[in-house]
């Protein structure tokens, strides 16, 4: 398990008052955040974020998904997680070793989380992990609710959905 890269020390940031919605300031125009900041920003809009991975030819592939912050089921480390259709190209990129960047934007506030990703799903099983239960947890972490969990499980299985966990090695932004 890696440690979040210390881009900027929190004590170097200038914070505004508790009712001030402005982001922390830094004279070098860079900011550092943590997963709690990511969790709070995600909660404002049902976990919507842009997920990017690198294709074999070096081009970036991006798409909009619902993400949440939750513990990895094997390590317990807090990570950014989302569910992905089993046919999504991003899963192949991750299996090849592509890092993943997740960008969250709310108005003029934004955060970017980058790190290595791990997959847990029908094509990437882990001993002792109940995949349907894990996918439900990921869905809930991203702000989702469902009236019929049996139907949800059936659709996730039919789509060969996998849980994607991104271990944050870099979190930057102004959010």
Provide the 10 A C-beta neighbour count for residue 87.
10
Domain architecture of the chain: domains with CATH: 33-173 (2.30.110.10)
Write out the H or E segment, with its range, that includes residue 111: strand 109-115
d(CA 17, CA 27) in angstroms, rounded, equals: 18
If one compares 4 and 132, the residue with the highest pLDDT of the two is 132
- pTM, two decimals, is 0.81
- The 3-state DSSP class for residue 98 equals coil
Please write the tens of the pLDDT for every residue from 21-41: 555 444 343 455 789 999 999
Question: For residue 3, what pLDDT is reported?
Answer: 38
Please write the tens of the pLDDT for every residue from 38-84: 999 998 888 899 999 999 999 999 999 999 999 999 999 999 999 99
């Amino acid at each position: 398990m890696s440690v979040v890269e210390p881009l900027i020390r929190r004590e170097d940031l200038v914070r505004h008052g508790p009712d001030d919605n402005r982001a922390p300031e830094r004279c070098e125009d860079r900011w550092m955040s943590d997963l709690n900041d990511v969790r709070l920003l995600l909660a404002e809009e049902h976990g919507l974020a842009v997920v990017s991975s690198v294709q074999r030819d070096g081009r970036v592939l991006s798409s909009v998904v619902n993400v949440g912050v939750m513990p990895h089921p094997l390590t317990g480390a807090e990570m950014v997680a989302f569910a992905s259709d089993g046919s999504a190209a991003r899963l192949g990129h991750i299996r090849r070793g592509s890092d993943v960047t997740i960008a969250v934007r709310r108005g003029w506030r934004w955060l970017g989380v980058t790190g290595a990703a791990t997959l847990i799903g029908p094509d990437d099983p882990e001993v002792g992990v109940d995949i349907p239960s894990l996918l439900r947890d990921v869905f809930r972490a991203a702000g989702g609710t469902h009236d019929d969990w049996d139907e949800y499980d059936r659709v996730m299985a039919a789509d060969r959905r996998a849980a994607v966990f991104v271990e944050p090695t870099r979190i930057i932004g102004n959010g």
